[in-house]
A and B are shown apart, each in its own frame.
Chain A
Amino acid sequence: MTEIPEHLLKRSKSAKAKKAAAPAGEAASTEDTSKIPRALLERSRAAKAKAGGGDSGGGAPSGGGAAPVPAGPSGGGVATLAPPVALGPDGHTQRLLTVVKSGSIQDIKSKPVDKVHTWPHLLAAEFTAALFILAFTLIFSIFINAPLLTLADANNTPNPAKAPWYFLGLQELLTMFDPMIAGVTLPGVVLVVLGMAPFVDKNPSNKPEDRKFMISLMTVHLMFWAVLTLIGSFFRGPGFNFTYPWDTGLTGIFHL
């Protein structure tokens, strides 16, 4: 239920009381059955009288002294152009037509979002995360040194020679496929397909239960690289042959 504002209720009550109090025969003689308010009828009658009386010179006032304008268009609009000659019942020139419930016409597109202030809620979390990673890096660096082997020597190939860990998946692929496929085509295809994901995946939902296929696909894909990288890192010894890290030892086969 829409609440009708109090002042409108009051006004309608007083208007009703006034109407009831007024002598029944005074104004309601002819137009009583009509639903058009008396004031409007009066105004229209006055306008008609004016239009009928001044029809011969009708073009002059509206034309403003310019070339004589045919009375047609202006004559049709005379009734609306005329100034209000009569006021409403209480001397008002406006009246309430209807009360529009909120939401019945307006389409509210943006729903209110539950938001919090960036400061302190987000900034405090970010600051904490930054401090945490800084502390982690610092402490890790105090205890574990970055590797520095002997001076580079183009004539002395270490065995095994390995790429950085994030390329070991690719290096592992090189053992299975032609270099053209393993080193170029496959990673290229992976990057392009990843980039096309938003245009291929037309499912608008971001809920995990609606996206079982995409989530499975991505998980299989990530696991594929993770397994290859792990094998390349820890299970490839001299000659890039398969080995177990507990047989060979990590020294020599894995560097960060």
Chain B
Amino acid sequence: MANTIQKRKPTITEKIGESTGSMVQKTQESQIWNSIFRPGSIFRKGYTDSPRNRSYVIMNSVLYHLHPVKVKRHAVKVSYTLCLGGLSFFLFILLTVTGIFLMFFYRPTAAAAWSDIAALKTSVTFGLLVRNMHRWAAHLMVLSVFLHMARVFYHGAYKAPREFNWIIGIVLLTLTLLLSFTGYLLPWDQLSYWAVTVGTNMMGFSPVFGDSVRFVLLGGKQIGAETLLRWYVLHVLMLPFVIVIFMAIHFWRVRKDGGISGPL
């Protein structure tokens, strides 16, 4: 009887399970797999919950550039930070993704800009949805960066040794506002045109350089086709490039200055 049990044909599920298992093993032993994942990576050896593996998750992935292996216990309480800095960063990523999508359907010329935006609704799959997400995420980011700054102030987190990171933060707030403002013009409708007119008129009142700065930014005495192209380049290329550099310094300094501040 025992013999018959041993010789029983494996069921289909067992066969599949067995071949999948050996495939997984072969993949994990292959040179390609091992060249992708560093020694100690959980994708090489699998993950079982242990303090060592918890450290390896961070240490052997790109996340190590962002987070240390361990953080202060109070720092992970949502009520302390409300995750506002992280949300600002996540919204930036979301804006980048949706923004790249929109770039495929948009020409920054006075003749085409408005109709391209209008065509998102009628002739691009998910075009309107992605444009909506880009718009609302932009407003949310201005809000979350602003609230993040208020939170940092109320926790006294700008004090030594974080003075410099506070200043970087102010630069980031300014850059966020500029990114939002440059994007405001791009739909080229009555709303954007006149909002930017009002905004840039204020700029013209600055002493000494006011008028020349305004002239360079607008590419003329008043908003026109040149302005659209300039603000487009600022919006999709130059300001994101600058803000990414400042964000990198900001995140690096958070770690170098001893993690987030507190506890209170």
Contacts and interface: CB of A to CB of B under 8 A. Distances in A.
A211 B72 contact: no
Contact of B190 (A153, A182, A203): A153
Interface residues of B, number: 83
A219 B33 CA distance: 54
B234 interface: no
Interface in B106-155: 110, 114, 117-118, 128-129, 131-137, 139-140, 142, 146, 150, 153-155
Interface of B: 51, 54-55, 57-58, 63, 67-76, 78, 83, 86-87, 90-91, 94, 110, 114, 117-118, 128-129, 131-137, 139-140, 142, 146, 150, 153-160, 162-163, 166-167, 170, 174, 177, 180-181, 184, 187-195, 197-199, 202-203, 205-207, 210, 222-224, 261-262, 264
* Most B Cβ at <10 Å: residue of A117, A157, A184: A117
7 contacts: A134-B94, A146-B131, A162-B194, A163-B195, A164-B199, A180-B207, A184-B206
Contact of A206 (B51, B140, B262): B262
Nearest to B198: A163
A149 B210 contact: no
Interface string A197-211: 111010111111001
Say what secondary structure dominates the interface of chain A.
Answer: helix
Q: Interface SS of chain B: helix, strand, loop or mixed? A: helix
A194 interface: yes
Given A116-B76, A198-B162, A150 B189 contact: yes
B38 to A, nearest CB: 16
A interface residue count range (under 10 / 10 to 19 / 20 to 34 / 35 or more): 35 or more
A165 B210 CA distance: 22
B210 A141 contact: no
Ranked nearest first, the 7 interchain pairs of A and B with the lowest CB-CB distance are: A206-B156, A141-B132, A183-B202, A152-B193, A146-B135, A198-B163, A119-B57
